[in-house]
Chains A and B, each alone.
Chain A
Amino acid sequence: MQRKQAVLQGLLLAGLLLPALAHAGWTRSWVIEWNEPAMYYGADSGVIDPGSDCPAGTNPEIDWVEVLVRAGYSRAEAEWLRDPANPTRSPRNGQNQMAFRGEGRANVYTHPETYPDPGLTGVSGDIGEGFDLDGDPGNGFVSPEGERGIDNAFYRTLGCWKTYRGPHRLSGGALTFNDAMRNGGWTMVIVASGEGDDERNDDNVRVGIYLSEDKLVKGGNGEIVADYTFRIQPHQVFEGIFAARTEGGVIHSTEPSPRVVLRDPSFTRELELLQARLRLTMQADGSLQGLIGGYRPWMPVYQGWVDARGPVIESLTWVELPGVYYALQRGADYSPPGSDGERTHISYALRVDAVPAFVMEPDASREVAQVRSYRDVAEEDNYKAPFAGYVVNGIVPDRSGKYYAGPDAVILPPQSGE
């Protein structure tokens, strides 16, 4: 607490001493009211129907009895494991024994390599949203506006997964995570500042994306209300600074930002983007819409789903998590400089919708006048994952010990008289 006060006092002092140096020609600010992975939807309606993106529709619902039989369980065992009356099947946390279907009944969530790749049908369409991250127009999707070379391997890999698929703002995943954000789960603000006289056409713009501890405010119609005030929360992890320009009200990054970290609308929490770009359009009503993209590490994506309770995610979203693991591994398309060449990252784009907001310095002394980094004044990140200590190796162990799951678990209940 004392450190926080000292930091805030320092910021205030800096603000008092530097206004002349730091004054921008213009500043605009917004709060993100919706964000979701940019998954172009190629069907006419619904969320699972066949379309140009996924000609067979979303990946279909899985017959878990057959999956378990293929993994070596007897049919009677498999059917009992999936029976709602089975007390080992928790209505909240799923059937833990689902984890143990790898070779030698290894846990497939922590050791997906012990399980044969079950496959995950990816996007086969040509249209995709995002950025030409590798500078090769011959490689990638064509954007809806006709730009070639769009790199979004995340979409190509997972775009037919039911969780991600659907029209703008209507996929199951987007609805779920944005509802959490809009109910106060987290807040991110965007500030753009320029030195010219025309905010819509300025060659020297900086864009900052920051966390705020102030919560979004819903109006009576359930939509996020514009023009509320948010203080920047300096954070060691979450921050993104972009060099940009504006052209006709569109903010383009002018060079890749080496590394930015946004709050991911998913169980992963951290959306780390290397070689990050943005393209955001200032709308006539004051709102901001567009894309932020780059290369993100794919393993945390997989781990996020595992940590959200593997049996639950598999049943609810119609995937086998080892299939997601293998698909991300196959789809990865980037090795950071200095690495051993393994493709640890995957091209990605995030759709962003934001409404006008007042964004203040961390001490709320004044509105932010110029984009800059606050990482050096951030407190230590003491984040604790929502399922930490609760989920162990992708499952929630039964604390009573009555419903043990594991490689050596006895599956069928004893017959009466035994």
Chain B
Amino acid sequence: MSKKFTRRSLLRGTLGGTAVCMGLPLLDVFLNSNASAYASGARLPVRFGTYFWGLGLTDTPAGGTRWVPATTGPGYEITPELKAIAAVKDKVSVFSGFRAIPEGRANLVHWSGHASILSGVAPTASGSFDEASFDTRVADALGGATRFKSVDIDASMSRTPVSYSTRSGKTFASPEVNPLGLYTRLFGAGFQDPNSDNWQPDPSIMLRQSVLSAVKEQRQALMSTVGQADRIKLDQFFSSVRDMENQLAVQLERPEKREACNPPVEPGELPRGASVDVVNENTRLMARLLAMGMACDQTRAFNFVHTSGASETYMAGNSKIYHQITHDEPTDAKLGYQPETSRLAEQVMEGFGAFLEELDAVPEGDGTLLDNTLVMAFSDTGYAKIHSIDNIPMFLAGGAGGRHRAGQHIHQPGEPVTRVSLTAMQLVDTPVGEFGRGTMKTARPVSEVMA
């Protein structure tokens, strides 16, 4: 095979006597030298997702707190800023005292904390991670049998879409930012009701899959003719093609019936606005859609952003945003904490409470969807007033299909946040034995919460 490929080349094959072709990404080789448990007996699937909110929870300089329970182990008490999770407290483990360790790198405000949790290493620059976010590993492990390997959602109503999920560390996922967009993705064109008695394979999907198969020979030929840089690009490209092939293959199989699947009606448009009441309402609606998307087995992995690191949210009618209040509000001498900040933190946590309630409202098997899900929730800071990355609030919620011994408070001051990340990965059977780099590298999950 000595064919010369150019930037206009297409991978070609034949399908049923008809020529089919596929375009290619821009490769260096094209440039000049100057270029720069069901009825079938199958187990109920386990799902995993991250939930992020900005600006942490309220600590006090003197060491007090509005969120860390005084007792550890099972049966922790509900503190003021945990009120929103009281209804599902027995399904939520609270992790306090864990910290991000920058190891000589600057604390990049509103970035180093969650970058460390997700990538296992303090980042060198704001806006990028030094490693892929670990949710992608979990999605690879869990998401092969679903239509979407992972779904990214941003409920923050921010000016620009927010996602912290990345495979390269440089580019981040494009999230759905409103209920209608999420509905369209999960239940719009291409959705096949698993409970339908009239299921038929979609001819258009069959055609797309066949096109990919038809060009397979030329794909292999092209790989053998390019340099290393292009091979990396092509490998990434064809990896995404393979993902697409897998997704198409999934859609060509008759899906398992899903008792809990009850496709929702199309939602209306919500008013745009980042006030906390609007964001929480958006959170609840998108959580409801996501929950049903998982009940219908459209995806088993997700990343959900409630508010960004330097949160844009605010109390309706207040001229100050939450971010500003965390910094400028003095600690009340009598109360010992920032009262307005704490009030907003409570409201932000209502979003998390609503999120969990929606997952817990979907019956599945003997329990609920939440029982078969693990949600790792975390923020970017501990004491937001000073951008502290000590004592970052973290939670594991849901039963992970019986693996998570939930309802505990784990207090381990000074331990790296990566231990919680590793715990989450192992609870959903991701094949990983250690996580993180440098001081944050760990092979020690928090075994107390693992059944």
Q: B-contacting residues of A (Cβ < 8 Å)?
A: 45-49, 58, 61, 64-65, 82-85, 87, 91-92, 162, 170, 172, 175-176, 179-180, 183-185, 215, 218-222, 315-318
Contacts and interface: CB of A to CB of B under 8 A. Distances in A.
B107 A180 contact: yes
Contacts of A83: 319
Contacts of A180: 106-107, 387
A54 to B, nearest CB: 13
A183 B112 CA distance: 11
B103 interface: yes
Contacts of B386: 172, 175-176, 179
Given A84-B274, A185-B106, A220 B413 contact: yes
B105 interface: yes
B274 A183 contact: no
26 contacts: A46-B330, A46-B332, A46-B333, A47-B330, A64-B319, A84-B275, A84-B312, A84-B319, A84-B320, A85-B275, A91-B312, A162-B330, A170-B62, A175-B385, A176-B385, A176-B387, A179-B387, A184-B107, A185-B107, A218-B101, A220-B414, A221-B413, A222-B414, A315-B324, A316-B328, A318-B328
The interface residues of chain A, by DSSP majority, are classed as loop
Given A172-B386, A175-B386, A218-B414, 8 more contacts: A64-B319, A91-B321, A92-B110, A172-B330, A176-B387, A179-B388, A185-B106, A316-B324
Nearest to A180: B107
A181 to B, nearest CB: 10
B435 interface: no
A183 B324 contact: no
Contacts of A162: 328, 330
The interface residues of chain B, by DSSP majority, are classed as loop
Given A218-B414, A221-B414, A222-B390, A317 B328 contact: yes
Contacts of A184: 102-107
Nearest to A218: B414
A47 B330 CA distance: 7
B323 interface: yes
Interface in B104-163: 104-107, 110, 159
B333 A316 contact: no
A129 B306 CA distance: 46
B208 interface: no
Contacts of A316: 324, 327-328
Interface in B390-442: 390, 413-415
A175 B385 CA distance: 9
A208 to B, nearest CB: 23
A302 to B, nearest CB: 20
Nearest to B390: A222
B321 A183 contact: no
